[in-house]
């Protein structure tokens, strides 16, 4: 078989089972693809030796007849997952040199199934950003390049994961979504990104950004692959107090293709001012596709959705300022060089000033401000009350019989690297207008590539599911994937 790195997870699994290829061959194909992908800056720490060992072990396991769905499947891992003895620095200078001495539950689950570790993937520092430009490793470049030669963002914060999957450097990748970081990069790269219900996947060993919003999930080439990979990543984990005590169902078995009689809600508040005709048209066309498959399309209202973005940009920095207090130059990573006479306060100040990038410093300052005694009620508590109302809106929609909600993933296709005005950070935050709402409500969501825009760049649509119903959500997503017939791939230039 040739071009093994271009296989889907399902395709590779079936080829491995039939003996048409081996995990070692698959892994070598991915390692060669990664070696030739420097211009994308997606992989930031390769682990080829580890990959070769794990692939050989996977082949033994397949021969012995006890393969699981991810056995022998080469994957990439977002930098913020701790992998034992592999650099894991959440794309931050402050974690320079940090080698975790333990394994995140998600990666452990993948290795237990026999998946193969190819290396660490680029991201925005601590997950803060929507373009992977806030990274100590430099920006990831979207594999989708048009005739204009412009380097575009692969989205963020999981831009490395999305670019790597879109460019066939790996068969699937882990990612995290605090406010859209799985779904938005997936939409920008023509890949599938699934953020599970909060509590479905363990956060243990995932370098924290905002703990009440963080959730890990897969970025893959197809919806079926997302079902397979989520099944391997999810678990009930005593090491994470917010991990839900719910058995992990067989997500692939949920892909029946039958959505007859299901109700899909179209939230009117997502039809924001200035929404392009192109995205609006795509929204109507995809609703029509679900209708043709037998679903009922219902207009719904989520009255507080319009407050989601401001509430998110209070709550996420508040939690970040607290989570990031641990980086003090003492316990992990990098410590600033100190001058004669510098004491412990100077050490904290210098270490944090040079260890954190500008966006992280901004979030720490915003977070500290909104949590300060004088402003706690005006900002943080108010945002928490808004969050409760947003959740109630969704609860009411689902209680009225809605099975899933359809909305755009992003307000535009991938924008050019360097095009955001750094003096106006809100411009970047506005990219998250369609994604953050579900994080505040703890719900699962998936972005499915459905079309190319007029320029020839991928666009994704988002489906939001009922809590714990990822199987049903994946089934809707697969119906949309089939109906839209999206199969475009970026032309190789790297
Ligand atoms: N862009 C959002 C932020 O910067 C979301 C990031 C994420 O989901 N990690 O906070």
Phi, psi of 394 (to 5 degrees): -65, -45
130: CA distance to ligand 1 center in Å?
Answer: 6
CATH classification of the domain holding 252: 3.90.1300.10
The strand pair at 43-46 and 458-465 is best described as unpaired
Does residue 78 have an active-site annotation? yes
Query: Which pLDDT tens digit goes with each residue over 233-250?
Result: 999 999 999 999 999 999
Classify residue 395: in a domain, yes or no: no
- Ligand 1 within 6 A of CB of 88: no
Q: Is 322 helix (H, G, I), strand (E, B) or coil?
A: helix
Q: What is the 3-state secondary structure (H, E, C) of 16-60?
A: HHCCCCCHHHHHHHHHHHHHCCHHHCCEEEECHHHHHHHHHHHHH
Query: Which pLDDT tens digit goes with each residue over 314-332?
Result: 999 999 999 999 999 998 7
Range of the domain at 56: 4-259+415-484
Classify residue 285: in a domain, yes or no: no
Classify residue 149: in a domain, yes or no: yes
64: CA distance to ligand 1 center in Å?
Answer: 43
Classify residue 434: in a domain, yes or no: yes
Classify residue 363: in a domain, yes or no: no
Classify residue 450: in a domain, yes or no: yes
25: CA distance to ligand 1 center in Å?
Answer: 36
User: Tokens standing for 47?
Assistant: 């682990």
- Ligand 1 within 6 A of CB of 316: yes
Among 79, 90, 157, 206, which residue has the most ligand 1 atoms within 8 Å of its CB, making it the best to mutate? 157
Q: Is 347 helix (H, G, I), strand (E, B) or coil?
A: helix
101: CA distance to ligand 1 center in Å?
Answer: 27
Classify residue 352: in a domain, yes or no: no
Classify residue 383: in a domain, yes or no: no
How many domains is the chain built from?
Answer: 1
Hunting for tokens 């699934």 — which residue is that?
194
Using the CB atoms, write b or e for 389-408: b if 16+ within 10 Å: ebbebbeebbeeebbbbbbb
Among 129, 409, 411, 462, which residue has the most ligand 1 atoms within 8 Å of its CB, making it the best to mutate? 129
- Ligand 1 within 6 A of CB of 319: no
- Ligand 1 within 6 A of CB of 432: yes
pLDDT at 422: 82
Distances (CA, A) of 212 to 162, 312, 461: 24, 11, 25
What is the rounded distance in angstroms from the CA atom of residue 111 to the CA atom of residue 425?
A: 39
pLDDT at 409: 98
Percent residues over pLDDT 70 in the chain: 100
**Of 92, 135, 157, 161, which one is the catalytic site residue?**
157
- Average pLDDT, consecutive stretches of 10 residues, N- to C-terminus, the chain (494 residues): 93 98 98 98 98 98 97 98 98 96 98 98 98 98 96 98 98 98 98 98 98 98 98 98 97 98 98 93 98 98 97 98 95 90 95 97 98 96 98 98 98 96 89 96 98 97 98 98 97 96
What is the rounded distance in angstroms from the CA atom of residue 138 to the CA atom of residue 132?
A: 8
The strand pair at 458-465 and 445-452 is best described as antiparallel
């Amino acid at each position: 078989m040739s071009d093994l790195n271009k296989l889907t997870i399902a395709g590779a699994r079936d080829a491995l089972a039939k003996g048409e290829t081996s995990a070692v061959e698959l892994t070598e194909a991915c390692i060669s693809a990664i070696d030739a992908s420097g211009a994308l800056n997606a992989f930031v720490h390769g682990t080829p030796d580890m990959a070769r060992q794990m692939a050989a072990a996977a082949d033994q396991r397949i021969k012995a007849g006890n393969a699981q769905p991810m056995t022998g499947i080469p994957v990439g891992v977002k930098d913020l997952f701790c992998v034992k003895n592999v650099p894991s620095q959440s794309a931050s200078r402050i974690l320079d040199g940090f080698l975790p001495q333990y394994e995140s539950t998600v990666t452990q689950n993948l290795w237990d199934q026999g998946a193969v570790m190819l290396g660490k993937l680029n991201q925005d520092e601590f997950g803060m950003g929507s373009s992977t430009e806030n990274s100590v490793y430099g920006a990831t470049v979207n594999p989708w390049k048009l005739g204009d030669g412009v380097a575009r963002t692969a989205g963020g914060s999981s831009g490395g994961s999305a670019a790597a999957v879109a460019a066939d450097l790996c068969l699937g990748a882990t990612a995290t979504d605090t406010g859209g970081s799985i779904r938005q990069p997936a939409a920008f790269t023509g890949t599938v990104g699934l953020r599970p219900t909060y509590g479905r996947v363990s956060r243990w060993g995932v370098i924290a950004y905002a703990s009440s919003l963080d959730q890990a999930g897969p970025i893959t080439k197809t919806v079926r692959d997302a079902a397979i990979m989520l099944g391997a990543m999810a678990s009930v984990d005593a090491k994470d107090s917010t991990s839900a005590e719910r058995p992990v169902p067989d997500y692939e078995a949920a892909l029946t293709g039958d959505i007859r009689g299901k109700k899909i809600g179209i939230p009117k508040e997502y039809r924001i001012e200035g929404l392009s005709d192109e995205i609006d048209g795509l929204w109507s066309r995809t609703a029509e596709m679900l209708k043709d498959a037998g679903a009922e399309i219902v207009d719904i209202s989520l009255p507080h959705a319009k407050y989601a973005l401001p509430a998110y940009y209070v709550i996420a920095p508040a939690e970040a300022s607290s989570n990031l207090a641990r980086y003090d130059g003492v316990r992990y990573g990098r410590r600033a060089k100190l001058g004669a006479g510098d004491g412990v306060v100077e050490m904290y100040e210098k270490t944090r000033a040079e260890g954190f990038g500008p966006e992280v410093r901004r979030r720490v300052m915003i977070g500290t401000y909104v949590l300060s005694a004088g402003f706690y009620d005006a900002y943080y508590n108010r945002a928490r009350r808004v969050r409760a109302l947003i959740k109630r809106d969704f609860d009411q929609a689902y209680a009225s019989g809605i099975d899933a909600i359809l909305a755009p993933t992003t307000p535009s296709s991938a924008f050019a690297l360097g095009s955001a005005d750094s003096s106006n950070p809100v411009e970047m935050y506005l990219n998250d207008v369609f994604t953050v709402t579900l994080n505040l409500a703890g719900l699962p969501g998936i972005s499915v590539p459905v079309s190319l825009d007029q320029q020839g760049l991928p666009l994704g649509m988002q489906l939001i599911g009922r809590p714990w119903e990822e199987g049903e959500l994946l089934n809707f997503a697969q119906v949309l994937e089939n109906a839209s017939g999206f199969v475009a791939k970026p032309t190789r230039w790297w």
